[in-house]
C-alpha cells in the first residue's frame, strides 16, 4: 500500500499544514526525507506547521488511499501546540533535537547532528580547533554550550585559565561559530578546581538567552542577567552551597 494523501479533518485551519510522507517500500520519499529502514511494516507521517500558523492548539488526523482508490479509516486524533512567543528548546543545529558534541584529545570539536527520525547521529562537522587546553582538567580552562543570543542554537563559550569568558556565536545550523566576543573576565578562580567556585550558563529569566550563574566557593549563588554583550552585576539568588562544589565528598548543582 502506498500513502498518497494525508488530509486534515474537522479543522479548516489545518489546510495550511504541510505534510511529508515516509512510507514502507519507497526508496526515495517525495519530500526529500530519507526513508527510515527501521520502519518496516509501518507508515510514518511527518507534519510540519506552516510558518504562518498562529499560536494555538491544533488537532489533525490522517488516512490512507489504496491503489484501488479506497480510503482507510481516519487515524486517531493527533495534537500539537504552536507557541510563537515561546522560544524552543535550544540545541546545536536549531531543530530542537539534541546533537552530539565531540571534543577530542587534540582539541578539535565536532558536531554530529541527530537525525529527526532515525536513532542516529551524522558523521559530524568540525567546528573548532585548538581546544585541548579547555577540557576541564587540572590547570585547564573549560567549555560550555548554551544559547547566549536566543536564536535557538547553542553557542560555544570558552572559560580560560586567564579568567576570560569568550562567546562564539553559532552560525544557526551547527556548522560553525563566529570569531568570538569577550563577555566577562576575572573568573580564573571559578574553574571548578579544588577550593574554587563554578560557573553555569542557563536561561534563568525565561527570555531564551542564557544568563551567567555564579557559584562562589563560600556557597553564594548569584545570577548575572544577559544584557546585550555583557552580563549585569548579579543578584544573589541562594546561599549555603559551599558543600556542593563537586569535591570528592560533595554534592553538586545543576541549572536546567
Contacting residue, 8, 109, 141, 147, with Ca ion by CB under 5 A = 147
* 109 phi-psi bin (left φ>0, alpha ψ -120 to 50, beta other): beta
Centre a 10 Å sphere on the Cβ of residue 203 and count the other Cβ atoms it contains: 19
Take residue 94 and report the three cell numbers written for it. 536549531
With CB under 5 A, what is the number of residues at the site for Ca ion?
A: 11
Query: Rounded CA gap, 150 and 129, in Å?
Result: 24
For residue 186, which phi and psi values (nearest 5 degrees)? 70, 35
| Smallest separation (angstroms) from Ca ion to the CB of 197 | 25
Q: Which is nearer to Ca ion, 191 or 213 (CB)?
A: 213
| Distance of closest approach, residue 169 Cβ to Ca ion, in angstroms | 6
**Smallest distance from the beta carbon of 97 to Ca ion, in angstroms?**
4
Q: Are 57 and 49 in contact (CB under 8 A)?
A: no
Residues 79-118 that bind Ca ion (CB under 5 A): 91, 93, 95, 97, 99
Q: Give Cβ neighbours of residue 206 (< 8 Å, ≥ 6 apart).
A: none
Q: Name which position in 33, 132, 151, 171 contacts Ca ion (CB under 5 A).
A: 151
Query: Which residue's C-alpha cell is 542564557?
Result: 210
Give me the least distance between CB of 90 and Ca ion, in Å please.
7
**Is 155 or 211 the residue whose CB approaches Ca ion more closely?**
155
Strand pairing partners for 168? Answer: 156
* Span interacting with Ca ion, options 6-14, 43-51, 146-154, 241-249, rule CB under 5 A: 146-154
List residues near Ca ion by CB under 5 A.
91, 93, 95, 97, 99, 147, 149, 151, 153, 155, 170
Amino acid at each position: 500500500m502506498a500513502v498518497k494523501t494525508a488530509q486534515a479533518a474537522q479543522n479548516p485551519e489545518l489546510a495550511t499544514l504541510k505534510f511529508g510522507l515516509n512510507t514502507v517500500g519507497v526508496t526515495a520519499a517525495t519530500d526529500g526525507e530519507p526513508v527510515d529502514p527501521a520502519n518496516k511494516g509501518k507508515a510514518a507521517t511527518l507534519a510540519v506547521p506552516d510558518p504562518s500558523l498562529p499560536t494555538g492548539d491544533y488537532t489533525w488526523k490522517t488516512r490512507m488511499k489504496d491503489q484501488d482508490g479506497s480510503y482507510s479509516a481516519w487515524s486517531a486524533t493527533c495534537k500539537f501546540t504552536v507557541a510563537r512567543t515561546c522560544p524552543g528548546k535550544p540545541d546545536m543545529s536549531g531543530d530542537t533535537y539534541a546533537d552530539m558534541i565531540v571534543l577530542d584529545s587534540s582539541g578539535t570539536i565536532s558536531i554530529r547532528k541527530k537525525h529527526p527520525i532515525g536513532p542516529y547521529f551524522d558523521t559530524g562537522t568540525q567546528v573548532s580547533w585548538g581546544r585541548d587546553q579547555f577540557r576541564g582538567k587540572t590547570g585547564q580552562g573549560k567549555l560550555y554550550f548554551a544559547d547566549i543570543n536566543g536564536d535557538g542554537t547553542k553557542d560555544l563559550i570558552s572559560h580560560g585559565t586567564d579568567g576570560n569568558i569568550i562567546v562564539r556565536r553559532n552560525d544557526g545550523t551547527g556548522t560553525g561559530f563566529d570569531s568570538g566576543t569577550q563577555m566577562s573576565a576575572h573568573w580564573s578562580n571559578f574553574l571548578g578546581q579544588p577550593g574554587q567556585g563554578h560557573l553555569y550558563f542557563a536561561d534563568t529569566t525565561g527570555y531564551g538567552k542564557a544568563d551567567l550563574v555564579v557559584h562562589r566557593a563560600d556557597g553564594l549563588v548569584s545570577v548575572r542577567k544577559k544584557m546585550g554583550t555583557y552580563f549585569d552585576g548579579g543578584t544573589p539568588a541562594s546561599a549555603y552551597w559551599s558543600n556542593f562544589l563537586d569535591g570528592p565528598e560533595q554534592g553538586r548543582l545543576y541549572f536546567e
